[in-house]
Chain A
């Protein structure tokens, strides 16, 4: 075991390999508040990469309904439970947040790598605490999961009175879109006995070498997000490849510009923003004030990692759903949830503009600038002033090409009166 620095945990942690960071890291932000669970992303991925024989149960991208849904079923609860068994009552956060190196404070519990030292799984010692899902858990994505948490305790079938009221709904669910997080400290990579899994130095994308893989399925067992899959026809494991040809700029549609993945580009709810993050020597994010991902994660602090306590330093970030009870969200996204929701619920001028970049162009936006516009609206949200300025935000690719120009206010088109649905 080596000691590596995990900034999401605000401390060093144990990992089977020494720290080695890519030049830049594939990362993304999903805005759960806007996801409608339409599964367009899921099908875009499926029709691009996993439509062949043996890949029937492979959903590199999936959208599940929380709290009851999951693919495989209960993936998160099962891993949380294993960690709790390994460290009863000790999975706690503490300490004060500091910039970049510990933005969420310090995690005092055990990660899946640390817990593996003392906790033996059903199959004996492993490099990470995990489990192999059963066939049944993989068999039915999205079935029966759109059920809100709804009843008063002991009052089956009776909805909460005022359950729809904000700031937290009592009757709630939300959609969680998931792909491989291309973690900084991947559990799949750590667990592979064949060293078949590697992290690309050029963009941090985690790939499985199909020539080396011998189907041990240790990656499936170790990945806490359950984002590697065994393919019976080739007897190897496969996983999300982050559409790397597009990220490399090899998709003809991008004319040489790096493009976002298929799932990102197809999102009709425009909930997704993907980018490449520059890293410091210690793996923390290099300050890039006008990179949209850096801004959302480290400046506006509205986007948070998914289950950071697992310890893999996932590179997928989520703007938490603002109507969901906070204890559930703190478990899922860490202790910074309250601040993130507060910042998102009453966005400042810059955040409002940056949120317009989501889903606007399939090319990767590296930098943005904002041209100020007039104030068009003002209101108060739970005691805080919210002003809406019709600013223009311009996004640039890494080589300086202008790829996006859009305003905060969406353009209004008036149809002529002859149409039945004229407005």
Chain B
């Protein structure tokens, strides 16, 4: 596996180090108390070496020289070490990934590891990191372990990862919810495995349990606890198992009757506000059936659709196309 760095990432990292005078490298022993500090003389040397490169006129040559210099100092100041150390804990990633590219992330939402597979089945991992993370060695390693476990799962044939969630019968809102649930359950199994291996999880078991309870609030508490424990202690997670868990926790897919969170048969939006179809006047029933001939009272309709058809009936105008 080749490790590639984005120029901007390397440069910003060493500049940050030079301006803060810190590397984020921990002091492992009392004698190394200053390990996390960059020596002033080193910063001066870095600045001097960097200044010289501005004299190179050819832009490509200059860029290459800057990259080399920044990479040398990136390594000199130990900024690469957490990456390579943590990567070594994931032999499958090293074996199956062609390239791991590390780039600069501009925000929390943009951070994380992603897998790209081209037509020739060449696998490339992209890891986006915020610079601030480099200044916190222990937290960085925890984060890297979590993200590399994502990559590991995506590469592991036993996990059976597929980039698209194959969830037929769900509307767009339900698909989005399902993706959120996928992230939730995947993160639980990752942190569960990391905790079992003696590493610090990104979030504690309690935090995950609370998040799971929120995500599956439609389940009774004993069922939530049981499912969460299974996930937390799961050592061999599978994509297919996740799909079964996320697709339809309310059991709505095959429901033919109004159910909380189910899709309105008219607008297909999920709703918790079902109208009482049994008290609908005949003119509204007629108007609905004009557009939805297969609709029956038993299927119900959401409050918003009822408002729409009431308004249309009152206006006496044509139904919306």
Contact = CB atoms under 8 A, between A and B. Distances in A.
Interface of A: 122-124, 132, 134-136, 138-140, 214-217, 221, 232, 235
A140 B107 contact: yes
Interface string B30-56: 000000000000000001001100100
Contacts of A216: 47
Interface in B1-27: 7-8, 11-12, 15-16, 19-22
A139 B107 contact: yes
Given A123-B19, A235-B66, A135 B107 contact: yes
20 contacts: A122-B22, A123-B19, A132-B19, A134-B132, A136-B106, A136-B107, A136-B130, A136-B132, A138-B106, A139-B106, A139-B107, A214-B47, A214-B50, A214-B54, A215-B15, A215-B50, A216-B47, A232-B8, A232-B11, A235-B66
B311 to A, nearest CB: 28
Contacts of B130: 134-136
B108 interface: yes
B107 A217 contact: no
Residue in B21, B22, B107, B130 whose Cβ sees the most chain A Cβ within 10 Å: B107
Contact of A123 (B8, B20, B104): B20
Contacts of B8: 232
A140 B132 CA distance: 17
A202 to B, nearest CB: 28
Given A135-B105, A136-B106, 10 more contacts: A123-B21, A124-B21, A132-B16, A134-B130, A135-B107, A139-B106, A216-B47, A217-B19, A232-B11, A235-B54
Q: How large is the interface on B (under 10, 10 to 19, 20 to 34, 35 or more residues)?
A: 20 to 34
Nearest 10 interchain pairs by C-beta: A139-B106, A135-B106, A136-B107, A123-B19, A214-B51, A122-B20, A123-B20, A139-B107, A232-B8, A123-B21
B136 to A, nearest CB: 13
A132 B21 CA distance: 13
Interface of A is mostly: loop
A53 to B, nearest CB: 12
A135 B131 contact: yes
Contacts of B47: 214, 216
Contacts of A235: 11, 54, 66
Contacts of B66: 235
Nearest to B135: A122
A134 B110 CA distance: 14
Contacts of A122: 20-22
Nearest to B40: A124
Residue in B11, B54, B105, B131 whose Cβ sees the most chain A Cβ within 10 Å: B54
A252 to B, nearest CB: 32
Contacts of A214: 47, 50-51, 54
B60 to A, nearest CB: 12
Contacts of B12: 135
Contacts of B54: 214, 235
Given A214-B50, A216-B47, A235-B54, A134 B21 contact: no
Interface string B239-259: 000000000000000000000
A215 B15 CA distance: 9
Contacts of A136: 106-108, 130, 132
Contacts of A217: 15, 19
A136 B108 CA distance: 8
A81 B185 CA distance: 41
Contacts of A139: 106-107
Contacts of A215: 15, 50
